[in-house]
Structures are given as structure tokens and as C-alpha cells.
Chains A and B, each alone.
Chain A
Amino acid sequence: DAGITQSPRHKVTETGTPVTLRCHQTENHRYMYWYRQDPGHGLRLIHYSYGVKDTDKGEVSDGYSVSRSKTEDFLLTLESATSSQTSVYFCAISALGVSSYEQYFGPGTRLTVT
């Protein structure tokens, strides 16, 4: 199994509060991603990183920010949580080699915004 951990695994928070989710990898992979999974929508990309301090937006980035100060850590922040951000969040990593686009996922964080 790829060495990816996510913390916390579960969180309940109130509307309007800030929340930070952490993804940690031990694989030294260059690319890291944050997705959310919702019924009927599959996995949707929020933000991704292609190196330390290098990040870009995905298809559902509004209301989220990210930071990557070290290769192994990728943080996802909800500046002011809303009920629509209740979801399961997955981090993924990729080495993105030639003809190899596999991403490897962490165990997920279940976030509930009340």
C-alpha cells in the first residue's frame, strides 16, 4: 500500500468555522491531489500540487485553499465551512511516470458541517 495518511479521519464542525485537513505521504511523489466524493458526483478534484509551493485549482475549488510547504504534506483548508462542504475528502498522490497516470489514494476524511 502507498504510504498515505489523512488526518483527522472524521470531523464534525459548525458552519462558519475554519477547518484544515492534512495529507501526509512517505513515497516522495511529486504530485498530490485533494478530491471530494459525493453521491451522484463521483470523485471531483478540488486542488492539486505539482511540487512544493506549486498548486493549481481543480473543478470544485471555490471555498477551499491548499498549501504545500514540504514534499510530504498537502493541507486543505476550508476558510469558513458551509453545509455544502459536508463530504468525504480523499487525498491522492502520483509519480506520473511515462504512460503511467495511476494515482494512489488515502483512506479519506469524513467531514460533517452542521
Chain B
Amino acid sequence: DQQVKQNSPSLSVQEGRISILNCDYTNSMFDYFLWYKKYPAEGPTFLISISSIKDKNEDGRFTVFLNKSAKHLSLHIVPSQPGDSAVYFCAAVPEGNEKLTFGTGTRLTIIP
């Protein structure tokens, strides 16, 4: 049972445009959500997070939106740059829990 779903395995976006990566979850106990970025042959790196008490969190070109009623979050990257080409994982965790549940990832390709 996949509790965190990333339904788009891949996404291609023109350089300079907005990239939108989506993530859905089924467990209503999830309270904190994270996005990770992964380059080939490297470990995932933490990108941005959001608590369920917020509906938006912004860090430079990256913004995460959370819609709790729809159990949906999205990562917006604007403007997209070639260095953003990577696999992006969303993850979720209930409050006070030490284990993250990851989605299957979306491969983002930025076209120059």
C-alpha cells in the first residue's frame, strides 16, 4: 500500500519556465512533508519542507504548497534551471514519528 504517491514518473520543462511536481498521500496522520532532490550516483539532499499547520513554504526559487483537505502537495520551481534536472522525492511523516515514508520519485528534465 503506497501511502505517498508521485504519479508522474517523469516531467520535462523548458528552461526558465515553472516546474510543478505533485505528490499525493493517503495517511491522514501525516503531519510534516519534505522534498528531496537526487542527482545520479549521489545521495538524496533535503530541499524544502512544510508543516501541516501551513499551506505554503517558500525558499528562493522553491515553493511547496500543501492542500490538507485534498491530501496533496506540490513543489514549484521557478524559474527552472538546467541544474534542477534530477529525481525529486516527496516524503511524509506523522508528528513525533522518526520514520519517513517516501514516494517513488519524479525525474525532472530541464530542456535548455
Contact = CB atoms under 8 A, between A and B. Distances in A.
Interface of A: 4, 31, 33, 35, 40-45, 48, 50, 58, 90, 92, 94, 96, 99, 101-108
A107 to B, nearest CB: 5
A99 B89 contact: no
A98 to B, nearest CB: 10
B102 A105 contact: no
Interface stretch (B13-21, B37-45, B58-66, B68-76): B37-45
Contact of A43 (B41, B42, B45, B102): B102
Interface of B: 6, 32, 34, 36, 41-46, 49, 51, 89, 91, 93, 98-100, 102-105
A108 B45 CA distance: 12
Contacts of A48: 98-99
A40 B104 contact: yes
B2 to A, nearest CB: 9
Contact of B99 (A4, A45, A90, A106): A45
